[in-house]
Structure 1
Amino acid sequence: MPENDPRPHPPLKDSGGDRWARWTGGRAGPVLLFACAVVEGCLVPAPTEAVFAALAIARPRRAWALGALAAAGSVLGGVIAWHLGATAFDRYGQPLLARYGLMGELEALGALYRRNAALALLTSGYTPVPYLLYGTVGGATGVPLGTFVVFCALGRGLKYAVLAGVARIAGPPVRRWLARNPRRIALVVTAVALIVLGAWMI
């Protein structure tokens, strides 16, 4: 079926594909995406991009809405981390960052915030530094909440807009490939779940 056809995509034919289609087309997928984005911002480096890619490729016409949902969850998670960094850094921030081996990044990110907080937040989605560090250190170092929210929203929104554009273009052929490989779909979903669980337990 052409991508611009207004009718819904037909369900994938095999049982594994049927489950995948129901999951990506129902409420569970977007809820998981939003939850991953929030958790990534304040608690654990969750694979939000992987969940987004799975959903957006399966339903390319919803890619922009899913991108907006992921960006909103990411900003919310960052705001939670900002508040905890501002009010409970010794009790919350230091143990959390130490758990993920991020204490060595504190000085560098603090210096970056002092030089140009807006630029640091705009580019936060394109660096190897986990996003939860930006919120925690932002609150602890006194980055204004308004600045944090505005530039995080711009940076995260741009990041997911680019990913949504890629999904709109690449989604239909990849979706057809997934329809022919239900076992690989199951492996991908399992791998994402194990990554989240492993990161939480480490």
Structure 2
Amino acid sequence: MRIFQWMYDKALLWSRHRHAERYLAGLSFTESVIFPIPPDVMLAPMALARPEKAWRFAWVTTLFSVLGGVCGYFLGLWLYEPVVLPAMEYLGKHDAFAKVQQWFTEYGVWVVFIAGFSPIPYKLFTVGAGLMSMAFWPFLLASFIARASRFFLVAGLMYWGGEKMQQKLRDIVDTLGWGTVGLAVLLYLVYR
């Protein structure tokens, strides 16, 4: 079944939409606060479809992701008990958030940098930084450097890979997709 290849083709088509850049900005912002899907899934096809704008898309993704991170920071700083804590309990993420707080105590600003660059849910760390009253400017600097590094790397790979990479991704996207689904099911079964 080639469902992921069909979705990949649709993503490339949608990435050419006249409002795609606005959607990328919105996704980048919300992912840093609440949304579970990373902006890379939109940035990569957009950079592939329009390589002449790859660097612009990386800037948009970076800036709006950092702005979302700032929003998450202030949610944690000012609205943890009335807004964030009930949401964490409702979603069953209270234990994960306790682990984030422990990492802040151990690693400080470095944990923001690592979360901003890696696939670790960045939103937990933006809210955690505010909750832990981390100094704002180091948080902002670590967020900007980490997010820019990640998104410019993605855009650069798509830009330099070009048509060859686009075709190669299209050829293997079903294998990657089903492998990810299988890994998610396995992790669910192991950790439930």
> Retained in 2: the 8 A contact 1:42–1:77?
yes
Compute the TM-score of the two structures, normalised by the length of structure 2: 0.74
Aligned residue number for residue 60 of structure 1 = 51
Q: Which residue identity lines up with residue 120 of structure 2 in the other structure?
A: V
Aligned to 2:122: 131
TM norm structure 1: 0.71
**Deviation at 1:29?**
0.9
Quick one: distance in 1 between partners of 2:146 and 2:155? 14
Q: Is the 1:125–1:156 Cα contact (8 Å) retained in structure 2?
A: yes
Match of 2:41 in 1: 50
Partner of 2:89: 98
**Matches for 1:168-183 after TM superposition, within 5 Å:** 168-175=159-166
Is contact 1:86–1:142 with CA below 8 Å preserved after alignment?
Answer: yes
CA RMSD of aligned residues (A): 2.8
CA offset at residue 56 of structure 1? 0.8
| Partner Cα distance (1:165, 1:128) in 2 | 18
* Structure 2, unpaired ranges of 5+: 1-8, 178-192
Which of 104, 119, 141 is the equivalent residue of 2:132? 141
- Count of aligned positions: 165
Percent identical: 22
Whether the aligned pair in 2 keeps the contact of 1:34 and 1:69 (CA below 8 Å) is yes
TM superposition shift of 1:146: 1.2
Asked if the contact 1:45–1:131 (Cα under 8 Å) also holds between the matched residues in 2, the reply is no
Matched residue SS, 1:46: coil
2:3 is aligned to: none
1:156 equivalent in structure 2: 147
Cα contact 1:39–1:46 (8 A) shared by 2? no
